[in-house]
Chains A and B, each alone.
Chain A
Amino acid sequence: MKKVIAVLLMASMCMATLMGCGANGGGKQEVYVYNWGEYIDPEVLNQFEEETGIKVIYDEFETNEIMYPKVEAGAAVYDVVCPSDYMISKMIENDLLQKINFDNIPNAKANIGAQYYETAKEYDPTNEYSVPYCWGTVGILYNKTMVDEPIDSWSVLWDEKYKDNILMQDSVRDAFMVALKLNGNSMNSLDEAELNAAKDLLIEQKPLVQAYVIDQVRDKMIGDEAAIGVIYSGEAIYTQRENENLEYVIPKEGTNVWIDSWVIPKNAKNVECAEKFIDFMCRDDIALKNFEYITYSTPNDAAKALIEDEDIRNSEIAFPDLTKYNNLETYVYLGEDGDALYNELWKEVKSK
């Protein structure tokens, strides 16, 4: 008797869990989206739901590295994800993505500039797996009231004058990118001597750094908490709106040009809805809405043409003329051993 009840109890609990997963089978359409934090105009999601009747289940991540294990482990099944360049090549290499049928996403080819697909070949050689969503550079944001000299080099982040006034990015690749570029090396270097030199540079810098942060660079710079910060170009326009003393520069030693793109994971359940979602995101009026809300540069040329404010349309921060800068690179996936080496060195920096 005792056992029977226990078994029944177990069975009913299992049923409950199973039913919870399977409920989306009948009738209502859904799309599971996994995107960067604060990387979309929430109004756009509502509009998508109204126009298509597809319900959006929306989750956010803070770094590519946090996103990857979740998609890999299949703990949560997403239909659309928005990783960056090097992470896309890692996902292609590890067979986590499916090819996108561009016939179902007409806006992708019509509205997005051809040069972005050209750049995308660095991580998606055949342009079959990803649709560019946002792009930009990484640079230095500084407060004109706290910095007198003109800034044009990463070396300012090693200037004793700004001790406790420097904000660094708390992510492996971005931190090493700064040090590698300052040493004149490639930011995709796998040369141990170069990487050790970069590590030593970062250790040397540590006493000057106020904090290692990611999204908080924005709020801290707006709040006059620090004089100099390493930041993504998309945040720069927003911070300038909030604090007019801030200025953004692309350092002369070169930097990272990145592209975040929509991809469809291999295990996606609602591919059709995913295609509709990506197509919707590529519509010019929607891309414009997103640009105005998140201020990250859009690769959507049709949307750019719709921007009314001429200053923004010609802004060097939002749409820099990349031919003017040297040594711009895009991250590539370094392979498992390369990743492990970077992580090892970064841990050494952080524990000093």
Chain B
Amino acid sequence: MNKKILSAPYLLWSVVFIIIPLLMVFYYGLTDKSGAFTLENILAIATVEHSKALWLAIKLSIESTIICLILAYPLSMILAKLNVNQHSFIVFIFILPMWMNFLLRTLAWQTLLEKTGVINSILKTIGLPGINIINTSGAIILGMVYNFLPFMVLPIYNSLSKIDKNVINAARDLGANGFQTFLKIMLPLSTPGIISGITMVFVPALTTFVISTLLGGSKILLIGNVIEQEFTQTGNWHLGSGLSIVLMIFIIVNMLITAITDKDGEGTML
């Protein structure tokens, strides 16, 4: 009984701020302006503009998830090999930027990448040709990778550091070379971390609208932008909610894959 009383505030919190809003999304998504039931808002995903925006969002977030994985895995291996004092310092350095607001960091990238921005000014002074990726999908991927990389590094690092050194030593004793040890021991044992990292990068990347607005110059419409516009500009909450439900389905599929591959429940976040 005591435990239940203690959990009451959390229960209340999740009802008020998670369950009720979620129900409201479903209510708006499944009704039209007059309040009658309709599937139109959900089927609206099939229109050319919406499906293109969804496809583009999926494509960009898969690309940035892959880049994050390629960057994060070697880094996590290096981190896991260091001794305690060194690695906590490096992890700290990695988390440090996250203390600053996400929006500000993205705005900073805008200033860095602009035609007359910091990077191009430096390149120009040393006589190199400038780069022009601001307002392209390249800039959006860069923004996603930069913002979400820590979410990939931390779970992978966590699962790698949990691997018993003796297991690796045993593999080497029994004649496995470095590559075999990696493939047969380290990779399988760190899979939960990888899966959890993929989810934590893919989901926010799929739904973002801030990064594409700021770094894409509002020229590239992702599904997140469409939904945001429906709420803030067009004022059609029904369509916005309907499209959110579609997006939720993609996220749930992603999470199901996570749950299936991560049977032991080891894919802990941190």
Q: A residues touching B (Cβ–Cβ < 8 Å)?
A: 1-2, 5-6, 9-10, 13, 63, 65-66, 68-69, 72, 164, 170-172, 206, 209-213, 223-225, 339-340, 343, 347-348, 350-351
In the complex, the answer to whether A351 meets B48 with C-beta atoms within 8 Å is: yes
Known contacts A2-B4, A9-B12; A350/B233 CB under 8 A: no
* Listed stretches B164-172, B175-183, B189-197, B215-223; interface member: B215-223
Q: Does B156 sit within 8 A of A, measured CB to CB? A: no
Q: Can you sample 22 A-B contacts with CB below 8 Å?
A: A2-B5, A6-B5, A9-B9, A10-B12, A63-B233, A65-B232, A65-B235, A69-B231, A69-B232, A69-B237, A171-B233, A172-B233, A206-B219, A210-B217, A225-B115, A343-B233, A347-B221, A350-B225, A351-B48, A351-B53, A351-B221, A351-B226
In the complex, the answer to whether A170 meets B218 with C-beta atoms within 8 Å is: yes
In the complex, the answer to whether A347 meets B226 with C-beta atoms within 8 Å is: yes
Smallest CB–CB gap between B222 and chain A, Å? 10
In the bound complex, residues from chain A placing their C-beta under 8 Å from that of B225 are 350
Main secondary structure of the interface of A (DSSP, over half): helix
In the bound complex, residues from chain A placing their C-beta under 8 Å from that of B221 are 347, 350-351
Main secondary structure of the interface of B (DSSP, over half): helix
Q: Which of A65, A212, A213, A351 contacts B52 (CB 8 A)?
A: A351
A10 vs B13: C-alpha distance when bound (angstroms): 11
Question: Within B103-128, which residues are at the interface with A (CB < 8 Å)?
Answer: 114-116
In the bound complex, residues from chain B placing their C-beta under 8 Å from that of A351 are 48-49, 52-53, 221, 226
Question: Within B223-239, which residues are at the interface with A (CB < 8 Å)?
Answer: 225-226, 229, 231-237
Smallest CB–CB gap between A213 and chain B, Å? 7
A254 vs B221: C-alpha distance when bound (angstroms): 30
The CB with the most chain A CB atoms within 10 A, among B1, B217, B231, B236, is that of: B217
A29 vs B236: C-alpha distance when bound (angstroms): 36
In the bound complex, residues from chain A placing their C-beta under 8 Å from that of B8 are 5-6, 9
Q: Does B158 sit within 8 A of A, measured CB to CB? A: no
Q: Does B135 sit within 8 A of A, measured CB to CB? A: yes
In the bound complex, residues from chain A placing their C-beta under 8 Å from that of B9 are 9
Smallest CB–CB gap between A15 and chain B, Å? 14
In the complex, the answer to whether A211 meets B5 with C-beta atoms within 8 Å is: no
A72 vs B226: C-alpha distance when bound (angstroms): 21
Smallest CB gap from B114: residue in A: A225
The CB with the most chain A CB atoms within 10 A, among B9, B219, B236, B237, is that of: B219
In the complex, the answer to whether B135 meets A347 with C-beta atoms within 8 Å is: no
In the complex, the answer to whether A66 meets B219 with C-beta atoms within 8 Å is: no
In the complex, the answer to whether B219 meets A209 with C-beta atoms within 8 Å is: yes
Bitwise, B115-153 to A at CB < 8 A (1) or not (0) is 110000000000000001001000000000000000000
In the bound complex, residues from chain A placing their C-beta under 8 Å from that of B235 are 65, 68-69, 72
In the complex, the answer to whether B233 meets A211 with C-beta atoms within 8 Å is: no
6 tightest Cβ-Cβ pairs between the two chains A and B: A211-B217, A212-B218, A351-B49, A65-B233, A351-B221, A343-B234
In the bound complex, residues from chain B placing their C-beta under 8 Å from that of A225 are 114-116
In the complex, the answer to whether B49 meets A348 with C-beta atoms within 8 Å is: yes
Smallest CB–CB gap between B135 and chain A, Å? 5
In the complex, the answer to whether A347 meets B5 with C-beta atoms within 8 Å is: no
In the bound complex, residues from chain B placing their C-beta under 8 Å from that of A211 are 135, 217-219
Smallest CB–CB gap between B176 and chain A, Å? 52
A350 vs B132: C-alpha distance when bound (angstroms): 21
A233 vs B235: C-alpha distance when bound (angstroms): 28
Smallest CB–CB gap between B220 and chain A, Å? 9
In the bound complex, residues from chain B placing their C-beta under 8 Å from that of A13 are 12
Smallest CB gap from A67: residue in B: B232
In the complex, the answer to whether A347 meets B219 with C-beta atoms within 8 Å is: no
A1 vs B4: C-alpha distance when bound (angstroms): 12
A348 vs B195: C-alpha distance when bound (angstroms): 36
A172 vs B236: C-alpha distance when bound (angstroms): 15
In the bound complex, residues from chain A placing their C-beta under 8 Å from that of B232 are 63, 65-66, 69
In the bound complex, residues from chain A placing their C-beta under 8 Å from that of B231 are 69
Smallest CB–CB gap between B6 and chain A, Å? 11
Smallest CB gap from B229: residue in A: A347
A58 vs B229: C-alpha distance when bound (angstroms): 24
A171 vs B218: C-alpha distance when bound (angstroms): 11
In the bound complex, residues from chain B placing their C-beta under 8 Å from that of A68 are 235
A199 vs B226: C-alpha distance when bound (angstroms): 18
Smallest CB gap from A209: residue in B: B219
In the bound complex, residues from chain A placing their C-beta under 8 Å from that of B53 are 351
Q: Which of A9, A213, A223 contacts B218 (CB 8 A)?
A: A213
Known contacts A5-B8, A351-B48; A66/B218 CB under 8 A: no
